[in-house]
Amino acid sequence: MRTAKTMNILMLLSQHALTGAEVYAVTVAEELIRRGHRVWIVSDTLTAATRATFVQAPVRRKSLFARARLILWLRRFVKQNRIQVIHSHSRASAWVGQLAARLCRIPHVVTVHGRQHLHISRRFIPAMGDATIAVCEVLKTHLESDLQVDSNRVELIRNPVHIEAGPVSTVSNPAHPTISLIGRLDGPKGDVAFNLLKRIIQDASIKAEINVIGGTTIPDRFQQFADRVRFIGQVPGIAEWVLKSDVVIGAGRVAVEAILLGRPVVAVGEGCALGLLTYGNLAEALATNFGDVSEGPRFEWNQIVADIEAGLTERRVEEQVANEVRREYDRERIVGRLEQLYQHVLVMKRRYEIPVLCYHRVIADSDTRRGHGIWVTASQFDAHLSYLKRAGFHPITFAQLNSVNRLDQRERYIILTFDDGYADNYEIALPLLRKHGFMAVIFPVLGHKDNAWDTARDSGQPRLPLLNREQIQEMAALGIEFGSHAMTHRPLPSLTAAEIVDEMAQSRAELKRIIGQEVDVIAYPYGEYNDKVKQAAAQSGFKYGVTTDHGPIAISDDFFAIRRIIVFPNTTTYRLARKVRGDYAFRQTARESAFSRRATPERNSK
C-alpha cells in the first residue's frame, strides 16, 4: 500500500484497565510507526508497550465540566502537534474526540468495539465520526439499524493481529491438560467468567489445571474457586500462556491469537457462547467477534463444558480455520486499509488533493495548430509554468509520490503529465520545463512513430511525429519520468484480458530497455478503464494507473484510477489557477451530480 509519507495521528482511548481497545490501538500504532507515521495515544491509562507517544489525560470523566476542559486541551494538543486525524476507540473518547475534531476542522474516525447504548445524547452528538469502523458484521448491522448511522460511512474492518512466531507443537503431557480462560473479570465479561468457572468446577469429568489470565484485581466472588483455579492476573502478552494451554476459552482478540498459535478455542464472549471453533461455525464467530457481540445473550453452559472436553481431546486447530483467520486479521492488510481511510477522510474534510495535470502537445503558436484540439502554445505553457512557480508549486513525479507528504498543504505539490509522447514535448516543452526548473511525466506510445490512431479514425488528421528512442533517453537523463501509454493506443476495455496484458507488458518492457529504469505508472489510452484493465495493470507490475477527468477524488482511494485535470487550448492562466487550487475535482463532481439530477427526469420521460 502506497501512502502519504508521514501522517500525524492521534489515538484516543478511555479506560481504567487494559482493554481490547487498547491492544487494538497499540497494534495499529506500531504498524503505522513502522510505516513512517507519527502516532500519539491519549488515554487515562496505558499498559501495553508501544513506540507511540503516550500522554495521560482524564478521558473517562463524565462531568460536563471535565469533558469541556478535556476538549479545549485536545484542541491545543492537536494544533501544537499538527494532528491530522483523530481515531477514537471507545464511547467516551468518541464523544470528546468528535467535538475536538470539529473545533480543529480535522477528520474524526471512530472504531466501535461493542454494542452501543442508545443514550439520548446520541440524538444531539452522535459521535460516530467522519467514518465509523465496525469490527464485526453484527456491529455493522447494529450501527446502521439501531443507531441509524449512514451505511456509506460505516465500514467493516476487523481488529488486526500479528503473530511473530508460527504455531508450535501441542502441550506434550496429555495426562495433565491445562485450560486457560483469558479475559477481564469485571463487568459483563466477569459475569460470564464467573458462571463458566462455576460449571467447569462442578463438572467432575473435567480433570485439568485451570488458569485464569486477566484482571488487575481478583473480585471477591472469585475467591471460592481459589483451590481449583490459578489466577495469573493481567499479563503484558498472552502468547506465553496460550502456548502452555491445551484449550483456550475466550473471545475477540484472545480467540484470534490462540487460533494463530495453534490452540483449540472455545469461543465464549460477553454476548454469547459459540463453543469449540470449527470451520462450520467460523462465519458466525467472525460475525460476532468470537462471541463478544450478539443480537442477544445465548449461553448453553452444559454444551460449553462438553465443547471444552472435545477441545481437550482434539488438541488442534483445523487448518482451514487457521488460514481463514490469518487472512481476515492480517495486520499489514488491515492497517493498509486504515491508512487509506485516514487519507480519504482528510482529503474530503479539507476538500484538497494535489492536482495532476494532463497536457498533450505544446506547439510553437496557434497558427501552427494541427490535429485534434488538445494542445497549448509555447507562450501559454511558459505562462502556466511561470504562474505555478510564483504560486509556490513543486512539481513531482510518480516515483516521488511515496516519498513526499502530499497531505501537508504547506507544500504545494503538483504533477505535470503529457500523454502520447509527441516530438514537440522534446522540442518545445522540455526547454521550458528546464527554464523553470520543473520536472514532468511523459506517457509515450511506443508502437507507432506517429499518431496513427488519430489518422486511422480521421483521414483528415495530419501525421504528427512522436518521440524517438534518443529523445526519450536524453529526457530521462534530465529527470523526466516516463510511463506507459500501452503499445498501440487502443482502448483497453474493448480488448481481451490477454490482449490488455500484452499491450501493457510490451510497452513496459520496451520502455525499460530504452531508459534503463523501472516503469511504475501507466496512463490508460483515452482515459478508459474498468476492473479488468486495473487488474492487468497490477499484474503487469505497475504501481499506479492514471485516467483523465474521472476516478476517485482522493488519490489514495484507488492508485490504479488516479484522476487528472485536462489542460485545453482555452486554459488561460486564470483558468489554470482555478484548476490547481486543489478542490477542482470536488467542484467538477458537484457539477456532474447536479447535471445528473437535472437530466434524470428528462431521461425517464423518454
Q: What is the pLDDT of residues 19-67, one digit of tens each?
A: 888 989 999 999 999 999 999 999 999 988 899 999 999 999 888 899 9
**Which residues does 383 contact at the CB level (< 8 Å), separation at least 6?**
573
End-to-end CA distance of the chain: 45
Could you say which of 1.10.150.130, 3.40.50.2000, 3.40.50.1220, 3.30.70.920 is the CATH number of the domain covering 178-328? 3.40.50.2000
- Helix (H) and strand (E) counts in the chain: 21, 23
pLDDT band of 602, cuts 50, 70, 90: very low
Fold of 8-156: Rossmann fold (3.40.50)
pLDDT band of 301, cuts 50, 70, 90: confident
Q: What phi and psi, each to the nearest 5 degrees, are found at residue 243?
A: -70, -15
> For 362, what's the count of Cα atoms within 13 Å in the CB-facing half-sphere?
26
Q: Give the position of cell 482434539.
A: 314
Domains of the chain, residue spans? 8-156, 178-328, 351-592
Instruction: Kindly state the average pLDDT of the residues 237-250.
Output: 91
Q: What is the pLDDT of residues 126-179, one digit of tens each?
A: 789 999 999 999 999 999 998 889 999 999 999 998 876 555 455 556 678 999
DSSP character string of 282-342: HHHHHHTTTTTS-SS-B--HHHHHHHHHHHHHH-S--HHHHHHHHHHTBHHHHHHHHHHHH
Q: Where are the alpha helices (DSSP H) in 35-82?
A: 64-80
* Closest to 49 in 3D by CA, of 32, 25, 15, 73: 25
Fold of 351-592: TIM Barrel (3.20.20)
Domains 8-156 and 178-328 share a fold: yes
Q: What phi and psi, each to the nearest 5 degrees, are found at residue 372?
A: -65, 160
Q: What is the pLDDT of residue 604?
A: 39
CB of 335 closer than 8 Å to CB of 297: no
Q: What is the pLDDT of residue 517?
A: 95
- Find the range with the poorest average confidence among 332-341, 399-408, 476-485, 571-580: 399-408
Q: What is the pLDDT of residue 5?
A: 64
Long-range contacts (CB closer than 8 Å, 24 or more residues apart) made by 376-379: 376/567, 376/568, 376/569, 376/571, 377/569, 378/428, 378/432
Q: Is 43 helix (H, G, I), strand (E, B) or coil?
A: strand
Buried b (16+ CB within 10 A) or exposed e, 94-116: bbbbbbbbeebebbbbbbbbbbb
Top pLDDT among 595 and 94 is at: 94
* Closest to 312 in 3D by CA, of 402, 249, 218: 249
DSSP 166: P
Q: Give the position of cell 488519430.
A: 454
Q: Where are the alpha helices (DSSP H) in 442-583?
A: 452-457, 469-477, 497-515, 531-539, 573-579
Q: What is the pLDDT of residues 183-229, one digit of tens each?
A: 989 888 899 999 999 988 887 778 889 999 988 788 999 999 989 99
Q: What is the pLDDT of residues 100-121, one digit of tens each?
A: 999 999 999 999 998 887 665 5
Angle at 417 (CA atoms; ends 563, 548), nearest 5 degrees: 30
Q: Is 353 helix (H, G, I), strand (E, B) or coil?
A: coil
Q: What is the pLDDT of residues 515-561, one digit of tens each?
A: 999 999 999 999 999 999 999 999 999 999 999 989 999 999 999 99
Buried b (16+ CB within 10 A) or exposed e, 486-517: bbebbebeebeeeebbbbbbbbbbbbeebbee
Q: What is the pLDDT of residue 456?
A: 86
**Which residues does 195 contact at the CB level (< 8 Å), separation at least 6?**
299, 301
Show the cell assigned to 386: 511561470
Averaged pLDDT of the chain: 90
Q: What phi and psi, each to the nearest 5 degrees, are found at residue 131?
A: -145, 140
pTM summary value: 0.88
